[in-house]
């Protein structure tokens, strides 16, 4: 028998504690709302902190150190044998995750946000029932609700999850470094994890259906990453469609059709990274009339409002790229909209980043998109190879490209391929957000020697006055 309580009345209910939900909770509490946050997992932080952004970057960072130790002979450093204790790597990764999830719990307490563990289900447009365990439920009546339930990996019909057919979640928690790994999908998740394991010494095969890996980025950017992976011994097959998997006691055999030819690949594991599915199917949204797309995404307006008064949605459950920082941004907008502020979303300056080798980052328009949008746009590029700091880092692959409006040099977008691209893109996001021109960037004194100078140099190329490359 399930025990239920009388309905508890609250101001704002937030479902999901990922980077969208917990940020929305903090902002709503700052604005004077009484907030209750519902999370079905054991810890706060959602996919990002527990089985996504943070643990993946911890593994990637560790793998970079291994790669550097193996390949620093040009710098006069030779290491005969690099030993990786993967159990300790996992322990360290888990310690990073624990610190951050614990930090979120502290932020909830500090902002007086009530945290409830359980599964949420809409009873009506103003009521949610939370199942806490097999015998206990609690009903909440709310004035406003923000849905931030995130997403999960897509499972392919012929590749059902198992001990050997894994998603990114399991790939982050392996107790061994695989000798061989087949990755289905060359998007950012497959590329990042493929790169990390290649650095650890795994023989990696990437099967990508498009014409290039990282097809969301410009061709030249994807080619740089592809070349880097191949240097590590990875095999990359484009135009490849995975057909089936045969599981064995100690591995798998993956069959794929590659440009009309059937190939098989033996490996310890097959990692499926073909996208993510929004977690909107077990909330009761249909019965209260929340409008969804054919992909299960919640339809919202520019304040993250659904078609149902008082119900908002953010993050991976709405359209757009599944990015943690996008979810956080939308969480702030939704919380402010609930408080009566005129906040609304503007996605132009939201960066996209891949922690590959080299790193890739993009913000605003690329050259093609700018021209399609009606701008008389020009692209100006400066290479990392002509930068002193990049040379001292022995990391010279890549470039900074600025997309500017021809008439006045207004920055419309930027693309970066190279070390620290994920950090460098912030300056260019700010440039777009504040209406900066190439001249403004060129006149800003950048410290020397730094990678940031490359942005200044690209701006000088846009002005026709480059200093460190010949015009």
Residues 6+ positions from 369 with CB-CB distance below 8 Å = 413
Q: Identify the pLDDT of residue 80.
A: 87
- List binding-site positions: 57, 149-151, 185-192, 208, 275, 316
CB 63 within 8 A of CB 197: yes
Q: Which residues are known binding-site members for FAD?
A: 57, 149-151, 316
- Tell me if 3-152+277-338 shares its fold with 358-463: no
Concatenate the DSSP letters of all residues of 272-313 into one string: E-S-EEES-TTS-HHHHT--B-TTSPBP--TTSB-SSTTEEE
pLDDT of residue 134: 81
Neighbours of 22 (CB within 10 A): 30
**Residue list, annotated binding site for NAD(+):** 185-192, 208, 275
pLDDT at 133: 85
Catalytic site positions:
448
Q: Say what the pLDDT of residue 471 is.
A: 81
What is the number of helices (H) and of strands (E) in the chain? 14, 23
**pLDDT by position in tens, the chain (length 471):** 455 568 999 999 999 999 999 999 999 999 999 999 999 999 999 999 999 999 999 999 999 999 999 999 999 999 988 999 999 999 999 999 999 999 999 999 999 999 999 999 999 999 999 998 888 999 999 999 999 999 999 999 999 999 999 999 999 999 999 999 999 999 999 999 999 999 999 999 999 999 999 999 999 999 999 999 999 999 999 999 999 999 998 999 999 999 999 999 999 999 999 999 999 999 999 999 999 999 999 999 999 999 999 999 999 999 999 999 999 999 999 999 999 999 999 999 999 999 999 999 999 999 999 999 999 999 999 999 999 999 999 999 999 999 999 999 999 999 999 999 999 999 999 999 999 999 999 999 999 999 999 999 999 999 999 999 998
Domain 3-152+277-338 has CATH 1.25.40.10: no
Domain positions in the chain: 3-152+277-338, 165-274, 358-463
Beta strands in 355-393 (DSSP E): 360-364, 377-383
Per CATH, the architecture of 358-463 is what?
2-Layer Sandwich (3.30)
Closest-CA residue to 37 (of 10, 74, 2, 7) = 10
Strand order in the sheet with 235-238: 165-166, 269-272, 180-184, 203-208, 235-238
SS3 content of the chain, % helix, strand, coil (to 5): 35, 30, 40
d(C-alpha 174, C-alpha 456), whole Å:
42
Q: Which CATH superfamily is domain 165-274 in?
A: FAD/NAD(P)-binding domain (3.50.50.60)
Phi, psi of 193 (to 5 degrees): -70, -35
The SS3 assignment for 425 reads: helix
Query: Can you spell out the DSSP letters for 202-260?
Result: -EEEEEESSSSSSTTS-HHHHHHHHHHHHHTT-EEEESEEEEEEEEETTEEEEEEEETT
């Amino acid at each position: 028998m399930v025990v239920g309580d009388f309905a508890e009345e609250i101001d704002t209910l937030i479902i999901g504690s990922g980077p969208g939900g917990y940020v929305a909770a903090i902002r709503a509490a700052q604005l004077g709302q009484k907030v209750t946050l519902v999370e079905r997992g054991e810890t706060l932080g959602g996919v990002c902190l527990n089985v996504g952004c943070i643990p993946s970057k911890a593994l990637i960072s560790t793998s970079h150190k291994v790669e550097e130790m193996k390949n620093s002979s040009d710098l006069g450093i030779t290491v005969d044998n690099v030993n990786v204790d993967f159990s300790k790597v996992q322990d360290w990764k888990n310690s990073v995750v624990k610190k951050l999830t614990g930090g979120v719990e502290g932020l909830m307490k500090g902002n007086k946000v009530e945290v409830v563990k359980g599964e949420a289900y809409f009873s009506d447009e103003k009521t949610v029932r939370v199942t806490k365990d097999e015998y206990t439920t609690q009903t909440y009546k709310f004035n406003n609700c923000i849905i931030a339930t995130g997403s999960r990996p897509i499972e392919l019909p012929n590749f059902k999850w198992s001990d050997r057919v894994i998603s990114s979640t399991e790939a982050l928690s392996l107790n061994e470094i695989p000798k061989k790994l087949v990755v289905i999908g060359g998007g950012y998740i497959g590329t990042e994890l493929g790169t990390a394991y290649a650095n650890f010494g795994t023989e990696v095969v990437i099967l990508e259906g498009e014409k290039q890996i990282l097809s969301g980025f410009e061709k030249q950017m994807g080619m740089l990453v592809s070349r880097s992976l191949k240097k590590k011994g990875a095999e990359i097959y484009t135009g490849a469609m995975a057909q089936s998997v045969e599981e064995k006691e100690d591995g798998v055999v993956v069959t794929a059709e590659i440009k009309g030819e059937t190939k098989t690949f033996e490996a310890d594991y097959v990692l499926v990274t073909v996208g993510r599915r929004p977690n909107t199917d077990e909330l009761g949204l249909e019965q209260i009339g929340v409008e969804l797309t054919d992909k299960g995404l919640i339809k919202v307006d520019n304040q993250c409002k659904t078609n149902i008064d008082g119900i908002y949605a953010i993050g991976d459950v709405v359209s757009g790229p599944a990015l943690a920082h996008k979810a956080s941004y939308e969480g702030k907008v939704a919380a402010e909209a609930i408080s009566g502020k005129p906040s609304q979303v503007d996605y132009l300056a939201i960066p996209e980043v891949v922690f590959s080798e080299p790193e890739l980052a993009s913000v605003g328009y690329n050259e093609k998109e700018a021209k399609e949008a009606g701008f008389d746009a020009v692209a100006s590029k400066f290479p990392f190879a002509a930068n002193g700091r990049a040379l001292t880092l022995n990391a010279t692959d890549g470039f900074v490209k600025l997309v500017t409006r021809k008439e006045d040099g207004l920055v419309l977008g930027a693309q970066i391929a190279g070390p620290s691209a994920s950090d460098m893109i912030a300056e260019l996001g700010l440039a777009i957000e504040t209406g900066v021109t190439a001249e403004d960037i060129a006149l800003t004194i950048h410290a020397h020697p730094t990678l940031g100078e490359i942005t200044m140099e690209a701006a000088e190329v846009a002005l026709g006055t480059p200093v460190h490359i010949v015009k």
